[in-house]
């Protein structure tokens, strides 16, 4: 009986071990960049620091196919073109990026970008697809956030900005309640929702069933076609 138990445990261990694929790590040496464009399903963790660093963690069978290249001032994270029409399980992919300057973050597909403590003058955020972009502790003068699809942009905390421009097309959501902006311009086409904060001015344009929720007491100028609303939160 004892022997049977040991054999059973051994088989269970071997089964579990055979299904575990250990992640590999690679440090990538790249030219300088100030923007990131994520084009695959991966988690990208961004930190602002003096020394630029890029580290990729993925399964050994896929890590060589995670391309990190710089075009202009943009770090592009992608797969080779031959992967475009293939349906396969890549496993978990994490990319850790440290960069001195950050002025643009673009996400295409179902990946996620996380940023902790970002200080810049102008910041452009773009999500195309179902991925999410999350920023904590943001300091910027002018911010532009756009979504095409069902993705999300979340700004959890930060300092007051001069201008916040929002563009929503589809069913995505932008939550920027973590920062106050003197001037907010929000445009929604579709069913998405936007949450903003201002005590200056809010210009709202809605076509469809989308909603703009706001905190503060801004001067409001609105134009709505459809069942959308502009409401105080």
| Tens-digit pLDDT profile for residues 127-162 | 999 999 999 999 999 999 999 999 999 999 999 999
119 shares its domain with 95: no
Q: Which residue segment(s) compose the domain that 213 sits in?
A: 104-233
95 shares its domain with 112: no
What are the beta bridge partners of residue 232?
214
Within 10 angstroms of residue 20's Cβ, the number of other Cβ atoms is: 6
Q: Three-state DSSP class for 230?
A: strand
Domain boundary among 34, 67, 101: 101
Tens digit of pLDDT for each residue in 72-126?
999 999 999 877 766 667 889 999 999 999 999 999 989 999 999 999 999 999 9
Strands 201-208 and 53-59: unpaired
115-131: b or e for each residue (b if 16 or more CB lie within 10 Å)? beebebeebbbbbbbbb
Q: Name residue, tokens 């999410």.
A: 132
Residue 180 contacts by C-beta under 8 Å, 6 or more apart in sequence?
160, 161, 197, 198, 199, 216
213 shares its domain with 142: yes
Q: How many CA atoms lie within 13 A of 108 on its CB side?
A: 9
Q: With respect to residue 28, please indicate whether it lies within any of the assigned structural domains.
A: yes
Structure tokens at 78: 């992608």
10-19, 45-54, 67-76, 140-149: least confidently modelled range:
10-19
Tens digit of pLDDT for each residue in 168-226?
999 999 999 999 999 999 999 999 999 999 999 999 999 999 999 999 999 999 999 99
Tell me, what's the pLDDT at 22?
53
Tell me, what's the pLDDT at 83?
74
Structure tokens at 110: 């179902």
Total structural domains in the chain? 2
Q: With respect to residue 1, please indicate whether it lies within any of the assigned structural domains.
A: no
**Predicted confidence (pLDDT) at residue 17 exceeds the cutoff of 70:** no
Tell me, what's the pLDDT at 199?
98
The CATH code of the domain that includes 95 is 2.160.20.120
CA distances from residue 83 to 23, 40, 87, 91, 108 in whole angstroms, order as listed: 20, 10, 8, 15, 15
163 shares its domain with 141: yes
Tell me, what's the pLDDT at 36?
99
What's the CA gap between 162 and 183, in Å, rounded? 6
97 shares its domain with 122: no
What's the CA gap between 58 and 142, in Å, rounded? 35
Q: With respect to residue 9, please indicate whether it lies within any of the assigned structural domains.
A: no
Tell me, what's the pLDDT at 149?
92
State the DSSP code for 200: S
């Amino acid at each position: 009986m004892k022997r049977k138990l040991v054999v059973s445990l051994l088989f269970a261990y071997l089964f579990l071990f055979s299904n575990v694929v250990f992640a590999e790590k690679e440090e990538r040496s790249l030219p300088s960049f100030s923007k990131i464009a994520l084009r695959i399903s991966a988690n990208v963790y961004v930190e602002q620091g003096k020394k630029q660093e890029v580290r990729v963690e993925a399964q050994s069978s896929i890590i060589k196919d995670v391309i990190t290249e710089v075009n202009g001032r943009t770090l592009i994270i992608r797969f080779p073109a031959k992967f475009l029409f293939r349906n396969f399980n890549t496993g978990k992919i994490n990319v850790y990026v440290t960069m001195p300057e950050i002025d643009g973050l673009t996400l295409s597909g179902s990946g996620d970008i996380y940023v902790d403590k970002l200080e810049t003058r102008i910041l452009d955020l773009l999500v195309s697809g179902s991925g999410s972009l999350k920023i904590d502790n943001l300091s910027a003068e002018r911010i532009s956030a756009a979504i095409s699809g069902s993705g999300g942009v979340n700004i959890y905390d930060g300092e007051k900005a001069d201008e916040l421009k929002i563009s929503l097309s589809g069913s995505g959501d932008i939550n920027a309640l973590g920062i106050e902006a003197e001037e907010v311009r929000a445009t929604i086409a579709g069913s998405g929702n936007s949450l903003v904060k201002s005590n200056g001015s809010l210009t709202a344009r809605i076509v469809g069933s989308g909603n703009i929720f706001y905190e503060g007491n801004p001067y409001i100028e609105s134009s709505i076609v459809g069942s959308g609303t502009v409401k105080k939160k």
